[in-house]
């Protein structure tokens, strides 16, 4: 059963198309990941789902409720943790959670019992009664997560929940998310960290250009590549045209598929080989063509390989393109309008 149903969502910020017909279903009780570079449309999707933003076109249903027609009913079903943490620096963590509980019209006794549960779950005992202005980034993120969980939502929506955190804080949040999933809470999180989605998600969707371009369980998507992934470098190319000449040679080798030029790694080549013998045959062809091998790495497919197959570029390439073509500050201002 799908808890979330998004159909044909579109959204523009002036000349920028953030979503271009995005459709997605999220099963109840799973931990679902949205993977994509900054600017892919993940935050816009989550803000629409959380009823903070209206799409230009499309439909949104959560638990069978039309989010555009009944936004208040949908807000009662979900907890939303935004990418940027906004916490009052004067209040203590406990006071902030009490305020949040009052906003949800929780009975005081139930509110305080729930706060105690969350303080223990998120290991906040030693600092929850300190003023929030003294908190580290990891502490602030845990408190923000507690705020989203206070009213026991059926759906927890997280936008880049561990960005900028240290390894210990990230691991603690991962553990909590797994516990929530095991207890029946549906968790939807966006990330551009491949290892985070791979470690946590039961299912994932890759978003590119405001559309879903691949969806499934991480293991299924990796297995669908059907072979080992190889990264090849012969030398540092001065431009992409030289790399394309090598690409043409590699594509002609029997047993090689999905050859892509990886610009983020000095115009190296990424491709899939069907078996071990293909690599040795390729080495011989390269030697005959006087392309000396500088580096060759062979491994089982990863989510980055899945992304590469779906988009023709690595996630790192996508991040670099977005960074070079967009003004993040201007987009954030438009998104808040």
- Nearest CA to 46 among 12, 83, 13? 83
pLDDT, one tens digit per residue, over 309-323 is 787 777 777 776 666
Tokens of 60: 């949104």
Share of the chain above pLDDT 90, in %: 54
pTM of the model: 0.80
Confidence of residue 211 (pLDDT cuts 50, 70, 90): very high
Cβ 92 vs Cβ 132: under 8 Å: yes
Q: Which residue has the tokens 């439909």?
A: 59
Q: What is the DSSP string of 308-322?
A: HHHHSS-HHHHHHHH
In angstroms, the CA 145 to CA 162 distance is 11
Higher pLDDT, 156 or 194: 156
Indicate whether 257 pLDDT > 90: no
Greater confidence (314 vs 57) lies with 57
The answer to whether the Cα torsion of 317, 323, 325, 330 is positive or negative is positive
Q: Please give the C-alpha separations between residue 292 and each of 54, 234, 285, 288, in angstroms, as whole numbers.
A: 55, 6, 10, 9
pLDDT at 237 over 80: no
pLDDT grade, residue 336 (50/70/90)?
A: very low
In terms of Cα–Cα distance, which of 209, 234, 267 is closest to 17? 209
Q: Are 325 and 280 in contact (CB under 8 A)?
A: no
260 neighbors 271 (Cβ within 8 angstroms): yes
Indicate the helix (H) or strand (E) that contains 98.
helix 93-103
Of 155, 158, 207, the closest CA to residue 186 belongs to 155
Span of 231-235, 321-325, 330-334 with lowest mean pLDDT: 330-334
Q: How far is Cα 144 from Cα 147, in angstroms, rounded to an integer?
A: 5
d(CA 50, CA 81): 10
Of 48-52, 140-144, 241-245, the range with the lowest mean pLDDT is 241-245
| Domains, the chain, with CATH or none | 2-221 (3.40.50.300), 226-300 (3.30.70.100)
pLDDT at 323: 62
pLDDT at position 224 is 84
Could you say which DSSP state residue 162 is in?
Answer: T
Q: Give the pLDDT band of residue 301 (cuts 50, 70, 90).
A: confident
Q: Residue 264: is its pLDDT beyond 70?
A: no
Q: What average pLDDT does the segment 147-160 reach?
A: 94
Of 105-119, 194-208, 306-320, where does mean pLDDT reach its minimum?
Answer: 306-320
CA distance 296 to 283: 10
Most confident of 64-68, 158-162, 299-303: 64-68
Residue 157 in this model has a pLDDT that exceeds 90:
yes
The percentage of the chain sitting over the pLDDT mark of 70, rounded to a whole number, equals: 92
Structure tokens at 1: 């059963």
């Amino acid at each position: 059963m799908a808890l979330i149903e998004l159909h044909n969502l579109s959204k523009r910020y002036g000349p920028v198309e953030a979503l271009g017909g995005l459709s997605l279903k999220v099963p109840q009780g799973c931990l679902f990941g949205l993977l994509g570079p900054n600017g892919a449309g993940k935050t816009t999707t989550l803000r629409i789902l959380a009823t903070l933003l209206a799409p230009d076109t499309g439909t949104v249903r959560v638990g069978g409720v039309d989010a555009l027609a009944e936004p208040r009913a949908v807000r009662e079903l979900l907890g939303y943790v935004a990418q940027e943490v906004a916490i009052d620096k004067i209040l203590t963590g406990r006071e902030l959670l009490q305020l949040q509980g009052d906003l949800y019209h929780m009975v005081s006794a139930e509110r305080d019992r729930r706060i105690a549960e969350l303080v223990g779950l998120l290991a906040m005992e030693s600092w929850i009664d300190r003023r929030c202005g003294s908190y580290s980034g990891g502490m602030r993120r845990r408190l923000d997560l507690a705020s989203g969980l206070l009213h026991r939502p059926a759906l927890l929506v997280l936008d880049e929940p561990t960005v900028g955190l240290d390894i210990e804080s990230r691991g603690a949040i991962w553990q909590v998310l797994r516990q929530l999933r095991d207890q029946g809470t549906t968790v939807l999180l966006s990330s551009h960290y491949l290892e985070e989605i791979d470690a946590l998600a039961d299912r994932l969707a890759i978003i590119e250009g405001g559309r879903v371009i691949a969806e499934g369980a991480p293991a299924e998507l990796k297995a669908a590549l059907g072979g080992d992934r190889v990264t090849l470098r012969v030398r540092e190319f001065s431009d992409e045209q030289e790399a394309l000449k090598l690409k043409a040679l590699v594509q002609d080798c029997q047993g090689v598929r999905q050859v892509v030029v990886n610009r983020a790694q000095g115009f190296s080549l990424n491709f899939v080989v069907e078996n071990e013998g293909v690599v040795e045959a390729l080495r011989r062809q390269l030697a005959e063509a006087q392309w000396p091998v500088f580096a060759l790495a062979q491994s089982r497919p990863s989510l980055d390989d899945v992304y590469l197959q779906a988009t023709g570029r690595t996630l790192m390439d996508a991040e670099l393109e977005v960074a070079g073509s967009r003004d993040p500050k201007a987009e954030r201002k438009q998104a808040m309008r």
